[in-house]
Chain A
Amino acid sequence: MDAQVAATPFYFAAPAERRRVKLPFIDRIWRVRGALPLEAPLSPAEAFDRLDDLFRAEGTTREIDGDTLTFAKKDPLAQDRMAIYDRGTLRVAPAEGGAELRYDMHSPSLLFCFALPFLFLAIAWLLKESRNPAFVFAGIFATLYVAGRILEPRLIRAAFRKRLADEDAAAETSAG
């Protein structure tokens, strides 16, 4: 992972009153970051154009400023491919042998799922008669968190790669 991207601080408050809190390791729980080499030589505008359908989903706002795309989502639809994210940035940056897409996205769904085992352990502790089901659900959500933390970044990376590599595929997806 790119050191510069990894060191980007987590914005803890509303944009109007940003307070930088550095949580370099803990924030991996809810943040998805990565870098994807661009196979074809693409300008930032061309790259964002190919990814456009992902950011046209209902409840999504996006803003492109030069080489950086910033998006935000409110109540994304169930079938939105980026439904687990509520905000993030994508940047086309020069890299060894061409350019790469660097992304950094915030997922309240991952954080929610991470918190659920603790919620159910608390229920087990408070309501002694619900202990067994509470322990079972704590286990289920711990498993689901691990699965989601591995699966979801792979899915979105694959979606980015497919669109960036194949202009026709991106156009088809957009039309469909």
Chain B
Amino acid sequence: MDGVRVGNRLIGTQSPVTVGWENVPRVEGGPVKRFVFTYFQPAVLIAIVAFWLYAPDSIAKASTAIAIGIGFKVLLYSLEWVNPRHASWRLTWKELVTDLFYVGISYTLVKYAGKHFGDDAIIAYVHHAFDWGKLAWFKDMPLLVQAFLISFIFDFGQYWMHRGMHNWYPLWLTHSVHHYITQLNINKGAVGNPVELFLIGLGIGGFFDFLPRAALLAGGLGMAISTYQHINVRFNTPRWWRFLFNTTEHHSVHHSQDFEASRSNYSGTYIFIDRMFGTCVDGEAELLGMEGGRRMSVREQMTYPFTEAWKTSKAALQARFQPAPTAVPAE
């Protein structure tokens, strides 16, 4: 495969990747279907922002956010059914069970670990140790600015954590499991080794003093934008949206079997962060995964980072301490 030159890199030499928006297929069907799948994403974003800005205090609470989140996921599953991007990404019962297993682990064990050993615990410790108080000025800014900054700061941190995972072997070991997924569906974002799920959840948002509603609004922004990273739905995503926000097209390139393509589009929500640092590739890919698309079992997903770390360490130690065998000429 020749690949396509993007900056200094050749994308798609190992596995097919469509580069450039002009080459990405459009939604097929009648005018109603095309209208829905063109304006769905912006309409939901506007509705969510308006809801969290204007909802009365009696309903603007975390339980409402959870209910909206679950309802939205169910709606997106139905969109996958109605207008799939690729038949080869069709959701099966087994895929659904596997994906929801990881969602369940995230909501229970990983959340518990984050609270007691992760960012919540670290932030509480730092506050206590230095007694510097929170950054109270944050609360005086307009609500929407606070919400954007919360989600942007989190995504900026996530960008570098994610990029670090693709460039530093110990972190890659934890993240590699997520790259063995071979199709994108709602909730595929949760599939990965729990150690990675813990690491990717680390953030510094807790340092800032913000209004609770700003946090809910920031969560709404995340839901209405970054959920589309992993989804098997064909949208006619508006030009301005795909310039600013991460899309399923961007993220499919990131999950491509092509190595160079996978080293792009690291942000979770704001793709302009990738544009700022030169790692954005606009396009899409259908063939996803590692090792030619091998699907990993749940058991292997749980153990892979540790078994690989053991194998690599052993090989490195053997190479270090065992002298290389000297060549003996054949008699």
Contact = CB atoms under 8 A, between A and B. Distances in A.
Nearest to B95: A78
Interface of A: 75-79, 83-84, 109, 112-113, 116, 120, 123, 127, 129-130, 133-134, 137, 140-141, 144, 147-148, 151-152
Contacts of A76: 295
Contact of B97 (A79, A130, A141): A141
A79 B93 contact: no
A79 B92 contact: yes
Given A78-B95, A78-B182, A137 B108 contact: yes
Given A78-B92, A127-B112, A140-B104, 15 more contacts: A75-B295, A77-B295, A78-B295, A79-B92, A84-B94, A109-B94, A112-B97, A130-B112, A133-B107, A134-B108, A137-B104, A140-B100, A141-B104, A144-B97, A152-B93
B111 to A, nearest CB: 7
A77 B293 contact: yes
Interface in B94-135: 94-97, 100-101, 103-104, 107-109, 111-112, 115
Nearest to B87: A79
Query: Which has the most chain A C-beta neighbours within 10 Å: B94, B103, B115?
Result: B94
B108 A113 contact: no
A112 B93 CA distance: 12
B94 A83 contact: yes
B97 A129 contact: no
7 contacts: A78-B295, A79-B88, A109-B94, A116-B97, A140-B104, A141-B97, A144-B97
B33 interface: no
A124 B183 CA distance: 31
Given A133-B108, A137-B100, A137-B104, A75 B90 contact: no
B230 to A, nearest CB: 13
A144 B100 contact: yes
Contacts of B5: none
A77 B182 contact: yes
Q: Which 9 pairs of residues, A with B, have the shortest CB-CB distance?
A: A137-B104, A133-B107, A130-B108, A148-B93, A123-B108, A113-B97, A109-B94, A84-B94, A134-B108
A83 B97 CA distance: 13
Say which size band chain B's interface belongs to. 20 to 34
Nearest to A131: B108
Nearest to B183: A78
A127 B108 contact: yes
B296 interface: yes
A133 B107 CA distance: 7
B297 interface: yes
B314 interface: no
A5 to B, nearest CB: 24
A152 B94 CA distance: 9
A79 B185 CA distance: 13
B101 A116 contact: yes
Contacts of A79: 88, 90, 92, 183
A113 B101 CA distance: 9
Contacts of B94: 78, 83-84, 109
A88 B82 CA distance: 34
B298 interface: yes
B275 interface: no
Contacts of B298: 112
B107 A130 contact: yes
A150 to B, nearest CB: 10
Contacts of B93: 84, 144, 147-148, 151-152
Nearest to A145: B97
